[in-house]
Chain A
């Protein structure tokens, strides 16, 4: 049963081949057995899962249908789940039982999804390797000595290892797409404002988006259908109708214009990855797509701009963690300042503290113009590049990452080394565009992802291209040894 995709589970449940409760039991047992190798879960919610599974079975017996009714999944541990620990991978929230449900959680629950647990992640979503979690690093099921990517490393590893068919992730600089690429998954970051951020604990407010991670585009379509939609509780949520993502999966790619940015294929890209990307391009051409070279001249400045904007917003968003109303509080604070400094100094890990300090500095008097404002201007240049490119092409294609999954610990000496891995993914967050990563092959047994970007609210187009690609390739069906 663990090999089944969401779509196959939906059919199986509909055909009464198994019940949601049976499926859930089976996966819970599998998680217990295999997750110690991966450390992909922070909390496993057995009781909640079983009661939700039973309720889904009851709803189905009463005549309800729905693609996610009774489907097992997990939530990245920054989605607030009422009554359940929501830790953001941090000691600061180790004791935090969320007093409410995130909109994403509520919507998926309403659709009948079953929550098996909360997945591990880089602390407060800051990282690309899932090494900064208070709960320990996550291992890549394709090679346990390597990172799975981050910050949604737990969701990625769990789905890749077939501990569940799908999970939610969030993407601020690539945190869905990059781990999807490193673990052979399909992951989608929606348009900014497509998915509600209510209850999605904020890292960088103008960049964060929640999205699905699964083994196929078809599954991502099912997840996104339930997750997407306007939410009045989120001022940045856009009131745009949600199309039927599944209905458009099979559209023809004839005449689809695919742009390849010349800046993507330069010196920093592992040539073996480049080769696989070119192969994926060929597959799409066979289906009638037309390739054009385009230019995104400002992309080289994206990382610098990102590492000002994201830490700046984060430095402010994380000020509420002060030991007063919830979360970690230090022992015996001597006075107010001591309460703040030690609660935060002891509660936050070092990467989080570094980014808070960078952000604080970037916003401070005298530096605001040179850093924050400058970064926002570069952000507009990047957006302009995309707007111009999309006049001529329908999707933009490129590698998701410049390198393969690296060894755990390899990039620990210099924070910047890890930042540079985000080069292909970060621009989509800055511009707010939707992006998807799908499996494109393997090098040395490690997965490689190819990334597609589309104009605002064209998630359907991304899923369509990915689905057609997955109908003629089988990279996405491969499973890691031992899982």
Chain B
């Protein structure tokens, strides 16, 4: 299942990765190489096999409904690129 450059552009957009046009051919080749490796899976017969998501197949532990966190805004926002009045700033979003 070979990818075309337009497929790669779509994937990059889904992943919000800004690709340079110059890199596109190389990236496309590299991805196709990886997918070539991965396509080997299709040769395996997995009829009737359940997928394994967690190796040890345990079940989720629940935690008590208690407030354990306090306000740490100052220290957490000390490492933020752009804040104002306690809010994180991003370029304006129009809805």
Which residues of A does B touch, CB under 8 Å? 95-97, 99, 191-193, 206, 232, 235-236, 238-239, 298, 301, 303-305, 307-308, 315, 319, 322-327, 329, 333-342, 344-346, 348, 350, 353-354, 356-358, 360-362, 364, 370-371, 373-381, 383, 414-416, 419, 430-433, 456
B17 touches A353 (CB 8 A): yes
- Smallest distance from the beta carbon of A369 to chain B beta carbons, Å? 10
Residue numbers in B under 8 Å from A99 (CB-CB)? 72, 75-76, 79
**B44 CB contact (under 8 Å) in A319, A325, A378, A431:** A378
What would 11 more interface pairs be, CB under 8 Å, given A307-B34, A344-B16, A361-B3?
A: A235-B60, A329-B82, A341-B18, A356-B15, A360-B11, A364-B14, A371-B41, A374-B41, A374-B46, A376-B53, A380-B51
B51 touches A206 (CB 8 A): no
Residue numbers in B under 8 Å from A431 (CB-CB)? 55
A414 touches B91 (CB 8 A): no
- Is B58's beta carbon under 8 Å from chain A? yes
B46 touches A324 (CB 8 A): no
- Is B84's beta carbon under 8 Å from chain A? no
- Smallest distance from the beta carbon of A132 to chain B beta carbons, Å? 13
- Is B50's beta carbon under 8 Å from chain A? yes
B56 touches A456 (CB 8 A): yes
Q: Tell me which of B36, B55, B76 has the highest count of chain A C-beta atoms within 10 A of its own C-beta.
A: B55
**A232 CB contact (under 8 Å) in B30, B56, B63:** B63
- Smallest distance from the beta carbon of A327 to chain B beta carbons, Å? 8
A361 touches B16 (CB 8 A): no
Query: Binary interface profile of B, 12-29, with partner A (CB < 8 Å = 1, else 0)?
Result: 101111111001000100
A374-B45 Cα distance, complex, nearest whole Å: 10
Question: If A192-B55, A381-B46, A383-B55 touch, does A358 touch B35 (CB 8 Å cutoff)?
Answer: yes
Question: If A371-B38, A378-B41, A378-B44 touch, does A340 touch B54 (CB 8 Å cutoff)?
Answer: no
B56 touches A301 (CB 8 A): no
- Smallest distance from the beta carbon of A363 to chain B beta carbons, Å? 9
B41 touches A193 (CB 8 A): no
A357 touches B12 (CB 8 A): yes
- Smallest distance from the beta carbon of A289 to chain B beta carbons, Å? 27
**A315 CB contact (under 8 Å) in B3, B15, B37:** B15
| In the complex, residue of chain B having the shortest beta-carbon distance to the beta carbon of A306 | B38
| In the complex, residue of chain A having the shortest beta-carbon distance to the beta carbon of B40 | A304
Can you show 11 pairs from A to B with CB atoms below 8 A apart?
A206-B53, A336-B90, A345-B18, A345-B19, A357-B8, A358-B31, A358-B35, A378-B41, A379-B51, A415-B33, A431-B55
**A301 CB contact (under 8 Å) in B3, B35, B40:** B40
B37 touches A334 (CB 8 A): no
A335-B90 Cα distance, complex, nearest whole Å: 8
B46 touches A378 (CB 8 A): yes
4 nearest A-B residue pairs (beta carbon): A432-B55, A345-B18, A376-B51, A341-B18
- Smallest distance from the beta carbon of A163 to chain B beta carbons, Å? 29
- Smallest distance from the beta carbon of A121 to chain B beta carbons, Å? 21
